[in-house]
C-alpha cells in the first residue's frame, strides 16, 4: 500500500485514518470513513482499488464530481471512466466496451444507473472487487443532503453476485447519521473510522455586520486574485450579488438550481478551470466542487444547520494552504430558515430535528467560545477540545473576566465526586441544590457542595463550557471528567479568562493576506499549468494543486531529483508534467 501511495500519489505517509480504513477494506470488512473535506477520502478507495486485481465502482452523487475524479486518475496514468447522461451514444459504447473487456480500474456512476437492467447485466460479468459510496451522508434521512436514490441503490448493490468489498466515505456525519448509514450498509461499530474535522489551515470567522454588501465588495476587491465562493440562501440574492460584481467589473459566475443545465455546467467549469476566480451561488453549488485552491468561502446568509455550513465552508483550503471561512448573518436569516423548515413537506419528526439543528446554528453565530472547538464538539462530542487561537471568537472576544477562582472550585468539586457525572448533576452539586439523588450519593457532605451557590444555572453552564472548550474538562458520552492539564489551573500556574457572563461582544472580522512565496514565479507557474491543462483537456488542478506550485515557488527545484522530494508528485507526473515546470523555473532563475 505504501508503494502505491508513493508511486501514484507522490506521498510518503498516509494521513490520519487512511491506513486504518484501507486495511479494513482489504480485510473484507464493510467500513465507514468520516474524514474532513480535504482529508484525502478518495485515497481510501483509490489505493485499495489499485491494489486489488479487478474493478472498483464508485457511486457518486454529482456528474461534475465524477469528471474531476476521473481527470485526476487519468493524470496519474490510471484507466478510469464515468457513465452518466453527459456522454454521447458513441462515448457510452466506448466506456461499456472498456468495462466489459476488463480494462477499467475505476468506474464512476450515479446511483440511478443501477435502475437500468442492461447495466446490471454488464456489471455481473465484471470482476467487481470494491464498491465505494462517496458522499455517504446522502444515504441518511438525517443527513443534511439526503437523497432517496442513495438509499434505493443499496438493495441493488447488495444483490450483486460478486464477493466485493464495501466502503462508505463522508466529511460530514453526526453520530446519528453515522449510525443510520452503518445500519443500512451492514457496517459494524468497530469499523467506523472517524478522524477529527479539525483543519488547522482554516480560519473561521463570524460577523453580524448590517453592512453585508459593503463587506463582500471590499473583501473581494482585496482578494481579486484568489479563488472564492460566496454562498447565498436564495436565488434572487445570488442574482443580485452577481449583478453587483458585474457592475464593479469583477469577473464572477453565478450558480443556482433555477439556471439552465448548460449554463450551470459552464459556470462550474469556468470556476474549476480558474478562468473565473469568484463564484456566487446557492447551496446547489456544493459537493461537486473539486477545486483545491479556494482561498475563501463567505456565507452571505446563515445556513440552516452546522452540517451544511461545514460542508460548504470546507470547500476552502483543500490544498492545506491558509484560507478563510466567513459567516455573515442577521436576525432576518433566522426568520428565513424558520420559513424553510415550516414550509417543508417533511414530517413533524424531521421538522423538529431541523428546528434543533437551527438552534445550534444560531448558537454558533452568537457564541464567544472558540468556533473551531464548537464545530468539533458538534460532530464529535467526545473529542478533546482546545482553542484554535485563530477564529474571530479567539481573537476578538473580550475575555476580560478572570474566572480562575471559579475554575479551581469547579475542578475541585468534580474531582471529589464518587463517580463520573453528567453536567446537570455537577451543576446541582455546585449550586448546593437538594435532591434525593444528591443525598443518596452523599454529595451534600462534600466540602465543595454549594461552592457556587450564588451562581445561576446558566452562569454555571458558561463556566463549564469555558473549561470544556479550553480542554481542562473532557467529555465522554455526556460524562465530564477533569483533564490532566487542569493541574496547572489547580496549582495556580495559569489564569483563565472568559467573557463577562451577560454581554454579547461584537465580533469583527480581521482580514489578513499571507504572502510567503515568490508570487511572480507562482503566477508564471499557474499560467504554465493553465496552458498544459488546455493541451491535455484536463482540469488545471488535476495536474498540480496550488500548494505544490507554491512549493515550486519557494524551493525553486530545477531537476526531477529535487521535484520528487515534494509531496504529491508521483512517478507519472514526474515524467509527464514536471519537465515543463523545471524549464520555467530554470528560465526564471537565470540572471537577466
Does residue 374 share a domain with residue 228?
Answer: yes
Phi, psi torsion values for 142, nearest 5 degrees:
-90, 0
Q: What is the DSSP letter of 444?
A: G
- What's the confidence (pLDDT) of residue 205? 96
- Per-residue pLDDT at 503 exceeds 70: no
Provide the whole-model pTM.
0.77
- What's the confidence (pLDDT) of residue 288? 57
Strand order in the sheet with 479-482: 421-422, 479-482, 473-476
Q: Model confidence at 441, in pLDDT bands (50, 70, 90)?
A: very high
**Domain end position, chosen among 194, 229, 247:** 194
Q: Model confidence at 411, in pLDDT bands (50, 70, 90)?
A: very high
- What's the confidence (pLDDT) of residue 507? 35
**Domain end position, chosen among 154, 173, 194:** 194
Q: Is residue 139, in this structure, part of any structural domain at all?
A: yes
Identify the top-confidence range among 227-231, 400-404, 532-536: 227-231
Q: How far apart are CA 550 and CA 523, in angstroms?
A: 10
- Closest by Cα among 65, 107, 112, 110 to 268: 65
- What's the confidence (pLDDT) of residue 491? 92
Give the pLDDT confidence of 508-554 residue by residue, as tens digits.
333 233 335 788 888 899 999 999 999 888 888 889 988 899 889 88
- What's the confidence (pLDDT) of residue 342? 87
Say how many C-beta atoms besides its own lie within 10 A of residue 166's C-beta.
20
Does residue 206 share a domain with residue 187?
Answer: no
Indicate the burial class of 206 (C-beta count within 10 angstroms; 0-12, 13-18, 19 or more): buried
Does residue 454 share a domain with residue 432?
Answer: yes
Q: How far apart are CA 57 and CA 65, in angstroms?
A: 14
C-alpha cell, 474: 473532557
Does residue 153 share a domain with residue 83?
Answer: yes
* pLDDT average, residue stretch 337-360: 86
What residues make up the domain containing 429?
A: 401-498
3-class DSSP state of 561: helix
- What's the confidence (pLDDT) of residue 516? 56
Q: How far apart are CA 294 and CA 291, in angstroms?
A: 7
Does residue 367 share a domain with residue 236?
Answer: yes
- What's the confidence (pLDDT) of residue 502? 43
Does residue 335 share a domain with residue 223?
Answer: yes
Q: Model confidence at 213, in pLDDT bands (50, 70, 90)?
A: very high
Find where cell 485499495 sits. 48
CATH code of the domain containing 407: 1.10.10.10
Q: Is residue 584, in this structure, part of any structural domain at all?
A: yes
* pLDDT average, residue stretch 321-345: 89
Q: Is residue 183, in this structure, part of any structural domain at all?
A: yes
Q: How far apart are CA 128 and CA 163, in angstroms?
A: 8
Does residue 572 share a domain with residue 463?
Answer: no
- Per-residue pLDDT at 244 exceeds 50: yes
Q: Model confidence at 504, in pLDDT bands (50, 70, 90)?
A: very low
Q: How far apart are CA 33 and CA 46, in angstroms?
A: 14
Indicate the burial class of 296 (C-beta count within 10 angstroms; 0-12, 13-18, 19 or more): buried
Q: How would you write 177-220 as a 3-class SS string?
A: HHHHHHHHHCCCHHHEEECCCCCCCEEEEEECCCCHHHHHHHHH
**Domain end position, chosen among 161, 194, 227:** 194
- 469 has which bridge partners? none
Poorest-pLDDT segment among 37-46, 267-276, 367-376, 427-436:
37-46
Q: Model confidence at 506, in pLDDT bands (50, 70, 90)?
A: very low
Does residue 317 share a domain with residue 293?
Answer: yes
Q: What is the DSSP letter of 590?
A: S
Does residue 451 share a domain with residue 564?
Answer: no
Does residue 282 share a domain with residue 239?
Answer: yes
- b/e per residue, 368-385, with b = 16+ CB within 10 A? bbbbbbbbbbbbbeebbb
- What's the confidence (pLDDT) of residue 79? 92
- Per-residue pLDDT at 368 exceeds 50: yes
CATH code of the domain containing 172: 3.40.50.300
Q: Is residue 63, in this structure, part of any structural domain at all?
A: yes
Does residue 141 share a domain with residue 36?
Answer: yes
Q: Is residue 364, in this structure, part of any structural domain at all?
A: yes
- What's the confidence (pLDDT) of residue 323? 96
- Per-residue pLDDT at 483 exceeds 80: yes
Q: Are strands 55-59 and 473-476 parallel, antiparallel or unpaired?
A: unpaired
Whether the CB-CB separation of 545 and 319 falls below 8 Å is answered with yes
Q: How far apart are CA 227 and CA 550, in angstroms?
A: 15
Q: Is residue 239, in this structure, part of any structural domain at all?
A: yes
Triad 146, 150, 151: Cα angle to 5°: 90
- Closest by Cα among 226, 342, 237, 329 to 278: 226
- Per-residue pLDDT at 10 exceeds 70: yes
Q: What is the DSSP letter of 160?
A: -
Average pLDDT, the chain: 88
Whether the CB-CB separation of 513 and 577 falls below 8 Å is answered with no
Give the pLDDT confidence of 88-125 residue by residue, as tens digits.
889 989 998 888 888 899 999 988 888 888 999 899 88
Whether the CB-CB separation of 549 and 525 falls below 8 Å is answered with yes
Indicate the burial class of 122 (C-beta count within 10 angstroms; 0-12, 13-18, 19 or more): middle
Q: How far apart are CA 238 and CA 241, in angstroms?
A: 5
C-alpha cell, 115: 435502475
Q: Is residue 387, in this structure, part of any structural domain at all?
A: no
If residue 589 lies in a helix (H) or strand (E), which one and from where to where? helix 578-589
Whether the CB-CB separation of 526 and 225 falls below 8 Å is answered with no
Quote helix, strand, coil % in the chain, to nearest 5.
Answer: 50, 15, 40
Q: Model confidence at 591, in pLDDT bands (50, 70, 90)?
A: low
Q: How far apart are CA 328 and CA 239, in angstroms?
A: 18
Q: How far apart are CA 300 and CA 340, in angstroms?
A: 17
Poorest-pLDDT segment among 252-256, 261-265, 470-474:
261-265
Indicate the burial class of 90 (C-beta count within 10 angstroms; 0-12, 13-18, 19 or more): exposed
* pLDDT average, residue stretch 494-501: 87
Q: Is residue 264, in this structure, part of any structural domain at all?
A: yes
Does residue 213 share a domain with residue 162?
Answer: no
Structural domains counted in the chain: 4
CATH code of the domain containing 581: 1.10.150.80
Amino acid at each position: 500500500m505504501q508503494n502505491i501511495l508513493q508511486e501514484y500519489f507522490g506521498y510518503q505517509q498516509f494521513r490520519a485514518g487512511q491506513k486504518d480504513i484501507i486495511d479494513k477494506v482489504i480485510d473484507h470488512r464493510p467500513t465507514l470513513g468520516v474524514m474532513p473535506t480535504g482529508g484525502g477520502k478518495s485515497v481510501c478507495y483509490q489505493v485499495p482499488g489499485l491494489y486489488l486485481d479487478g474493478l472498483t465502482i464508485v457511486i457518486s452523487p454529482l456528474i461534475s464530481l465524477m469528471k474531476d475524479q476521473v481527470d485526476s486518475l487519468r493524470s496519474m496514468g490510471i484507466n478510469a471512466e464515468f457513465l452518466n447522461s453527459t456522454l454521447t451514444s458513441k462515448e457510452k459504447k466506448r466506456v461499456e466496451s472498456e468495462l466489459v473487456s476488463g480494462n477499467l480500474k475505476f468506474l464512476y456512476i450515479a446511483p440511478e444507473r443501477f435502475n437500468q437492467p442492461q447495466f446490471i447485466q454488464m456489471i455481473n460479468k465484471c470482476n467487481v472487487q470494491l464498491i465505494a459510496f462517496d458522499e455517504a451522508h446522502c444515504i441518511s434521512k438525517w443527513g443534511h443532503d439526503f437523497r432517496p436514490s442513495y438509499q434505493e441503490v443499496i438493495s441493488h448493490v447488495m444483490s450483486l453476485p460478486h464477493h466485493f468489498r464495501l466502503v462508505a466515505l463522508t466529511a460530514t456525519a453526526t453520530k446519528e447519521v453515522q449510525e443510520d448509514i452503518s445500519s443500512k450498509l451492514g457496517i459494524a461499530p468497530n469499523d467506523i473510522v472517524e478522524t477529527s474535522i479539525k483543519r488547522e489551515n482554516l480560519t473561521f470567522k463570524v460577523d453580524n455586520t448590517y453592512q453585508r454588501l459593503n463587506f463582500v465588495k471590499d473583501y473581494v476587491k482585496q482578494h481579486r486574485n484568489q479563488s472564492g465562493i460566496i454562498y447565498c440562501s436564495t436565488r434572487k440574492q445570488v442574482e443580485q450579488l452577481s449583478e453587483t460584481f458585474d457592475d464593479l467589473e469583477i469577473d464572477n459566475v453565478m450558480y443556482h438550481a433555477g439556471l439552465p443545465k448548460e449554463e450551470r455546467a459552464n459556470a462550474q467549469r469556468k470556476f474549476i478551470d480558474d478562468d473565473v476566480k469568484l463564484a456566487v451561488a446557492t447551496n446547489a453549488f456544493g459537493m461537486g466542487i473539486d477545486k483545491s485552491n479556494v482561498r475563501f468561502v463567505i456565507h452571505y446568509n446563515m445556513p440552516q444547520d452546522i452540517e451544511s455550513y461545514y460542508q460548504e465552508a470546507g470547500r476552502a483550503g483543500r490544498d492545506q494552504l491558509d484560507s478563510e471561512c466567513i459567516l455573515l448573518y442577521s436576525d432576518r436569516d433566522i426568520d428565513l430558515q424558520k420559513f424553510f423548515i415550516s414550509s417543508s413537506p417533511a414530517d413533524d419528526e424531521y421538522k423538529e430535528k431541523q428546528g434543533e439543528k437551527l438552534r445550534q446554528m444560531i448558537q454558533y453565530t452568537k457564541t464567544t467560545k472558540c468556533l473551531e472547538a464548537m464545530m468539533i464538539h458538534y460532530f464529535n462530542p467526545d473529542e478533546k477540545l482546545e482553542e484554535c487561537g485563530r477564529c474571530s471568537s479567539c481573537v476578538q472576544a473580550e475575555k476580560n473576566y478572570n474566572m480562575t477562582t471559579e475554575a479551581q472550585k469547579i475542578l475541585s468539586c468534580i474531582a471529589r465526586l464518587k463517580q463520573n457525572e453528567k453536567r446537570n448533576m455537577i451543576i446541582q452539586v455546585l449550586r448546593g441544590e437538594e435532591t434525593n439523588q444528591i443525598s443518596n450519593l452523599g454529595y451534600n457532605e462534600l466540602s465543595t457542595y454549594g461552592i457556587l451557590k450564588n451562581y445561576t444555572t446558566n452562569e454555571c453552564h458558561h463556566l463549564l463550557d469555558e473549561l470544556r472548550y479550553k480542554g481542562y474538562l473532557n467529555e465522554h458520552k455526556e460524562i465530564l471528567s477533569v483533564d490532566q492539564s487542569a493541574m496547572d489551573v489547580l496549582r495556580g500556574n495559569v489564569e483563565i479568562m472568559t467573557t463577562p457572563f451577560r454581554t454579547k461582544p461584537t465580533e469583527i472580522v480581521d482580514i489578513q493576506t499571507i504572502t510567503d512565496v515568490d508570487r511572480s514565479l507562482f503566477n508564471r507557474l499557474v499560467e504554465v499549468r493553465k496552458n498544459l491543462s488546455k493541451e491535455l483537456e484536463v482540469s488545471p488542478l488535476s495536474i498540480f494543486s496550488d500548494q505544490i506550485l507554491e512549493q515550486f515557488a519557494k524551493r525553486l527545484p530545477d531537476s526531477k531529483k529535487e521535484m520528487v522530494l515534494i509531496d504529491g508528485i508521483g512517478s507519472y507526473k514526474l515524467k509527464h508534467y514536471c519537465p515543463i515546470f523545471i524549464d520555467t523555473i530554470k528560465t526564471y532563475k537565470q540572471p537577466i
